Amino acid sequence: MADPAAGSQPHAPGSPRVLVAGATGFAGALAAHLLYRHPRFELVGVTGRSEVGRTLEELYPRYRVPLQIGELDLARTGDLDAAVVAYPHAAAAPTVAALREHGARVVDLSADFRLAALPTYEHWYGQHPRPELLRDAVYGLTELHRDAIAAAAIVANPGCYPTASLLGLAPLARAGVIADVVIDAKQGISGAGRAFDDTTHLSMAGENILPYKVAQHRHTPEIEEQLARLNPALEGLAVQFQAHLVPLDQGELASIYVTPTRPVSQDELDELMQSAYAREPFVEVAAQPPGTREVQATNYCRIFAASDQHTGKLVVLSAIDNLWKGTSSQALQNLNVMFGLPETEGLS
């Protein structure tokens, strides 16, 4: 592997040294881009299981990261303070384990450590490669678990759909007003990753809306588990979740319909949202329904909530960029918290 630090920006002595494993995918490449330009982290390596020998900026010219892609070889990497792992589920866990043995703290972008309950993971994903590490992992939705993230050895970055959904639902869960919930979520084609199949090929996505994984989406148990953590009374709540691909490059909107346990006025709903997020740097409570363009290429989540006096239901709309707040910029937000840096560093 060529000198991984070649071409990186100068950093002060003692800057945390970070590697991105799986930098050839959409999420890993964006994470590398954000880290390369971060004023306090030093990006010392980008690895991939393909494209070895090329520079990352050859593969993604817009990110302008001149580091050479190499195979992951921790024996030659040198000291690491942290790593972002952007591998698919099951492939990520052994790499996370190796990085932990190397002394690095890890933000994992896969599903391998998002579910605390091993039986739930095995039901949805199959056998877990490294179940003994589950106890060391913290769910990485920064706004919900900031204190635990600060001390974590492994941070399980949330899925993009759960990020938008849980930020929209968290104030209602804490207030104990959720009796039932339906989430109708739509995402840009980048959510399908670099590899397309017959249902996600770009030619099928144009001028089309594609529902997928009907009644079997793997983000469902992630949302359910986190809601129960916010309020134990929600243990056992079955969330109806449906995902769609829409003809966008990137962006995501979760339309959430809540049957409340009791009547909730618009004034009370506004107060729940405002009090929950008044001090959050990356969550904006909007006066109008948000669109995905408002959050494109940012770490922001914009939320709008309405009490429907006709049906008695609560409608929450939550917009994020699926590659940014839904994945890579949230990983950097978590790294900032883990290393005691200002949470907005490199993101505002």
- Please check whether residue 208 lies inside any domain of the structure: yes
Average pLDDT, the chain: 93
To 5 degrees, how large is the angle CA 112–CA 115–CA 120? 105
Query: What single letter denotes the amino acid at residue 69?
Result: I
Taking only the tens place, the pLDDT of each residue in 155-188 is 999 999 999 999 999 999 999 999 999 999 999 9
pLDDT on residue 208:
87
Over range 9-16, report the average pLDDT: 74
Please tell me whether residues 153 and 172 are part of one structural domain: no
pLDDT on residue 49:
87
* Model confidence band, residue 192 (pLDDT cutoffs 50, 70, 90): low
Please tell me whether residues 311 and 165 are part of one structural domain: yes
E strand spans, 188-269: 210-212, 240-245, 252-260
- pTM across the whole model: 0.93
Please tell me whether residues 29 and 171 are part of one structural domain: no
Please tell me whether residues 118 and 233 are part of one structural domain: no
* CA separation for the pair 46, 66 (Å, rounded): 10
Please tell me whether residues 311 and 167 are part of one structural domain: yes
CATH code of the domain covering residue 294: 3.30.360.10
Q: How many other C-beta atoms can be found within 10 angstroms of the C-beta atom of residue 136?
A: 13
163 in Cβ contact with 301 (< 8 Å)? yes
- Please check whether residue 116 lies inside any domain of the structure: yes
Please tell me whether residues 89 and 176 are part of one structural domain: no
Residue whose structure tokens are 């968290």? 170
- Please check whether residue 9 lies inside any domain of the structure: no
- Please check whether residue 6 lies inside any domain of the structure: no
Please tell me whether residues 141 and 194 are part of one structural domain: no
Q: Which of 160, 269, 272, 283 is catalytic?
A: 160
Q: How many other C-beta atoms can be found within 10 angstroms of the C-beta atom of residue 198?
A: 6
Number of domains present in the structure of the chain: 2
- Please check whether residue 10 lies inside any domain of the structure: no
- Please check whether residue 50 lies inside any domain of the structure: yes
Buried b (16+ CB within 10 A) or exposed e, 27-66: bbbbbbbbbbebebbbbbbbbbeeeeeebbbebbeebebe
Please tell me whether residues 265 and 251 are part of one structural domain: yes
256 in Cβ contact with 182 (< 8 Å)? yes
Active site residue 160: yes
Over range 237-264, report the average pLDDT: 96
* CA separation for the pair 329, 322 (Å, rounded): 10
Domain assignment of residue 108, given as a range: 17-158+327-338
Please tell me whether residues 140 and 198 are part of one structural domain: no
Element spanning 18, H or E: strand 17-21
Taking only the tens place, the pLDDT of each residue in 197-211 is 444 555 566 788 989
* CA separation for the pair 106, 264 (Å, rounded): 41
Please tell me whether residues 197 and 315 are part of one structural domain: yes
- Please check whether residue 3 lies inside any domain of the structure: no
CATH code of the domain covering residue 74: 3.40.50.720
Residue 106 has pLDDT above 50, yes or no: yes
- Please check whether residue 11 lies inside any domain of the structure: no
Please tell me whether residues 171 and 141 are part of one structural domain: no
Please tell me whether residues 118 and 179 are part of one structural domain: no
Taking only the tens place, the pLDDT of each residue in 289-312 is 999 999 999 999 999 999 999 999
